[in-house]
A and B are shown apart, each in its own frame.
Chain A
Amino acid sequence: MTTALTTSLTAARRAVPRDPLARAAAAVLALIVLGTLAAPLVAPYDPDLPDLFNTLGYATPGHWLGGDALGRDVLSRLIWGARPTLLGPVLVIAVSAVVGTTLAITAAWCGGWVDMVVSRVLDVLFAVPGIVFALLSVAVLGPGLMPVALGLTVAYTPYVARVVRGAALRERNLPYVAAAWVQGRPAVTICVRHLLPNLRPIIVAQAVSALGYAVIDLAAISFLGLGVQPPTPDWGLMVKSGLDSAMRGNPIEAVAAGVAIALAVCAVNVLGDRLGRDR
């Protein structure tokens, strides 16, 4: 997890300076990450504290984004809401990347029937839209962030694994792998010490581009009422409750949360594009 983070950071640092768009995206993400980490310091109010005088309130100097239907400060909820909205997908993608990479390298290394079984299983998983896995998982385990994350992890594993398997197959046939094998290095060492570092850019690029989709899927399921449960602040949930507020005349909550999701995903996608192009 930490190595994945540092790799993506170094990769991003290398990619970013060339491109103003990527720089803006990185700045947006850095801002969001900082806000997420420092939520208790940055948020002006307690996100769960109702204030009768701020019910469906418009933007005022005291409440920059007004209040929701219960009078809770929308800006504070937006800042706190970044945690489940973004950490959930990061967790999903981290686990899918690890599982997907392990499957992919195992399949590419072993070849033969192992490769065939893994590839067919990935094909079948890939044949089902990601959100269906998440909904199925909710059907079995009940609503909540963890069941959705579990379903999405299954859904995104083939997304990483298919691409990495292809790359690992090419890499495996290079002479340096044969050389290491002839020297008598164990297969696991070759895979972990030699294959993995060379595949890392591809894994990171694929994981970052999957992250955008995962954010959207998770927010959508929370919006449906099956993911993060109230009163936890979450951007998907805020769009849902914001829709009711909008019907009663105050669209700020819905629009603010919607823009937050779009902005975050946009930034992730721009970086993912960049990383994918550079590799």
Chain B
Amino acid sequence: MKSQTKPQTKSLLNPTARFVLLRLVGLAAVLLVASFLVYGLLYLVPGGPMAFLLGNRTGTPEQIAAIRAQYHLDDPFLVRYFSWLGDALGGDLGRSLVYRQDVTTLLATRAATTLWLVVYSSVLIVVGGLAAGTLAALRGGRTDAAVTGVSSVLLATPVFVIGVVLVIVFARGLGWFPVFGAGEGLWDRVHHLTLPALTLAVGSAAYLARITRASVREEMGREHVETARSRGLAETRIVRRHVLRNAAVPVTTVIGLTVAGLLAGAVVVENVFALDGIGSLFVRAIMQRDFAVVQAVVLVLVASFVVVNLVVDLFYSVLDPRMAR
């Protein structure tokens, strides 16, 4: 961890506050670098930014002049970068050349679907992964072998293959769920998003199950558990208070990392199920070379990934105060 700074004689901040501050500075640095790279990539395109902004279209001289003015292409690179960054921080991510709308508006109308998808599948991952992993570790034997085997297979199956198989079986074959679309209203939405959320959840749930199983088993063999046993404490109490609680630390990290990674997974899942979320917007924007949208989505993806990681680290230090030192 970054918190291993030199021992200070007297710090103004307590360890937790310093830890938070350090992590926030790190977060800002990562975002700054990422935004610079994303913005700078525009200039690596063969033909320069103009070719990119025009994409496959040909522009009249007036349009070209308008685009040059809109993107301030005549200013030096750093000036442009910082004004773009300033706009982005103020919530203005530029205008989409394809949709002729503000990128912020485009993202806002599609954020709900993606958020629903990610939250729904996070719930499935946490419930499914924890239950399967704990069960495998505590029961052992055949349950353990089954969970381990199934989770290895699911881990090796790409998200889109799982999605396609679920569509073939449950939507096309059995007709239990709709094939495409995100639905309206709460119940309809849950109904529409069940297969996509399941698709997104399966691989991560398998991973979480493995980690949970490993860390519960490790705790089961530790000395303090032996001690609790020898003192004759009830098994359920030992499991609940001494095993699961300690096992929660590594499990929490994995949950956080997984949830952060779901946004990238959503890009693929939304395309399998033709959901109108940020992920499908992203893929379409790449195909249509709609650069303002590409920049914005990458920034949003990186930012949420990094922020979720930060939240996990902070939560970690609450769960186990030793981490912050």
Binding site for B on A (CB under 8 A): 123-124, 127-132, 135-136, 138-140, 143, 212, 216, 219-220, 223-226, 236, 239, 242-243, 246-247, 251, 254-255, 257-258, 261-263, 265-266, 269-270
Contact = CB atoms under 8 A, between A and B. Distances in A.
25 contacts: A123-B30, A127-B302, A128-B301, A129-B261, A135-B267, A135-B282, A135-B298, A136-B41, A136-B294, A139-B294, A140-B41, A223-B158, A224-B267, A226-B286, A226-B287, A239-B164, A243-B164, A246-B167, A251-B168, A255-B168, A258-B158, A262-B156, A262-B157, A262-B158, A265-B157
Contacts, number: 118
A216 B160 CA distance: 9
Given A128-B302, A239-B161, A254-B168, A138 B286 contact: yes
B164 A258 contact: yes
B159 A132 contact: no
Given A129-B305, A220-B268, A140 B44 contact: yes
Given A135-B267, A138-B286, A139-B286, A266 B159 contact: no
B225 interface: no
Q: Is the interface of B mostly helix, strand, loop or mixed?
A: helix
Contacts of B298: 132, 135-136
Contacts of B294: 136, 139
A243 B302 contact: no
Contact of A127 (B165, B264, B268, B305): B305
Q: DSSP majority for the A interface? A: helix
A156 to B, nearest CB: 15
Contacts of A212: 156
Pick the 8 closest A-B CB pairs, nearest first.
Answer: A258-B161, A266-B156, A129-B264, A265-B156, A262-B157, A216-B158, A251-B168, A139-B286
B262 to A, nearest CB: 10
A261 B282 CA distance: 25
B267 to A, nearest CB: 7
B271 interface: yes
Interface centre among A132, A261, A266 (most CB of B within 10 A): A132
A172 B285 CA distance: 47
Contacts of A239: 160-161, 164
Contact of B153 (A129, A220, A223, A266): A266
A265 B158 contact: yes
B45 A140 contact: yes
A224 B294 CA distance: 15
B306 A127 contact: yes
Contacts of B287: 143, 225-226
A261 B302 contact: no
B179 A219 contact: no
Interface string B29-50: 1100110001001001100000
A262 B283 contact: no
Nearest to B286: A139
B165 A258 contact: yes
Interface string B155-179: 1111111001101100010000001
Contacts of A258: 157-158, 161, 164-165
Contacts of A223: 158, 160, 268, 271
B263 to A, nearest CB: 8
Contacts of B159: 216, 220
A224 B283 contact: yes
Contact of A128 (B29, B34, B45, B155): B34
Contacts of B19: none
Contact of A269 (B30, B156, B283): B156
A246 B168 contact: yes
